[in-house]
Amino acid sequence: MHHHRTRMSSACVTFAGLIFNACAAVHIFALSRSLKYEPELGWSSGNDTFKVDSIKVAWILFLSYFVSAAAVDLVGFVGVVKTKPALIRFYRDYSIADFVFSAVATAASAYSTFQVSTRTGVCEEMSRQPELLRNMTDLGLSLENCERWFERAVMAFAACMVLVLVVRLHFLLAVSRYYTHLTRRSALPTHVRTPTRQDSLQRIFIIPRHSQTASTPASPTVYAPVPLEDLTPELRRSAMEAWVKRTDLRDTRHHRSSSGRISLPIQPDEGLLPAYTDKA
């Protein structure tokens, strides 16, 4: 049951990440079409420097980030559905790296709000994008309050990112637990397959194998239940897997009817009382 819960939670995490990152990529791509392309981009003849539109570069980086994140979420979702440990490991490693990157980026963005030069540079770049500035008017952004708006927006973004990082940490732990379960199951001596009727079958491991007791068929072998955790790694590798039917305690009880009648095995034409013969 715990295995199914971890698998279901991992599938939900990867699928939710896929939907979120895909929608964010589409939204950023739609907003990027409102950016103004400056025709004077290129090498300057005066100071021999290359002018780069920072807003446009940041938009491209954001778009690339969300597209790659959606692709990795798709890989993780396929790995969880098809039970592929290699794909789940790739998703887990990428999620760990992305978690560290997001934490560092959040701390850096919060620190940048205290730098006057950073706020001034961002507002200058925003002034060169009239269409983007017009689209963000509904959010309260204007050239007059650009620096103050940028400072508040970054602080609010940092606070939201802290909550998101906490939630992502729980999701990452769930995926890591599921991957650990798969690796432990693959380390068993035989490939474990889930039976079609899990309610009636139970997986056990037999020690020693039948081949080890075939030389003395006359002497019976008695098996005793031993927890799998108490076995050494050598015994685990030498164990043989088997599926047995679960025993239901209700089936071993005597069947009683509510009427109080007792059923006895009676042969045909047999009386209820034994026959007596007179002896002389």
Same domain, 210 and 78: no
Across the chain, the runs of DSSP E, i.e. the strands, are 201-206, 240-245
Q: Is residue 193 part of a domain?
A: no
For residues 104 and 230, give the distance between their C-alpha atoms in angstroms, rounded to a whole number: 44
Q: Is residue 139 part of a domain?
A: yes
What is the number of domains present in the chain? 2
Same domain, 21 and 74: yes
Same domain, 168 and 204: no
**121-173: per-residue pLDDT in tens?**
878 877 777 777 777 777 778 877 888 888 888 888 888 989 989 988 988 89
Same domain, 174 and 244: no
pLDDT given for residue 203 in this prediction: 72
Q: Is residue 257 part of a domain?
A: no
Q: List the chain residues with pLDDT less than 50.
A: 37, 39-51, 190-199, 213, 249, 251-258, 280
Q: Is residue 63 part of a domain?
A: yes
Same domain, 210 and 141: no
Q: Is residue 254 part of a domain?
A: no
3-state helix, strand, coil in the chain (%, to 5): 60, 5, 35
pLDDT given for residue 192 in this prediction: 44
Q: By residue range, what is the domain housing residue 240?
A: 199-214+228-249
> Using H for helix, E for strand and C for coil, what is the string for 213-264?
CCCCCCCCCCCCCCCHHHCCHHHHHHCEEEEEECCCHHHHCCCCCCCCCCCC
Same domain, 55 and 120: yes
For residues 116 and 66, give the distance between their C-alpha atoms in angstroms, rounded to a whole number: 29
Buried b (16+ CB within 10 A) or exposed e, 182-201: beeeeeeeeeeeeeeeeeee
Same domain, 209 and 80: no
Same domain, 101 and 56: yes
For residues 248 and 239, give the distance between their C-alpha atoms in angstroms, rounded to a whole number: 26
The first and second tokens of residue 270, run together, are: 């047999």
Same domain, 236 and 170: no
Distances (CA, A) of 15 to 9, 81, 82, 89: 10, 10, 14, 16
Same domain, 134 and 109: yes
The first and second tokens of residue 75, run together, are: 């890989």
State the residue for tokens 């194998």.
209
Same domain, 147 and 210: no
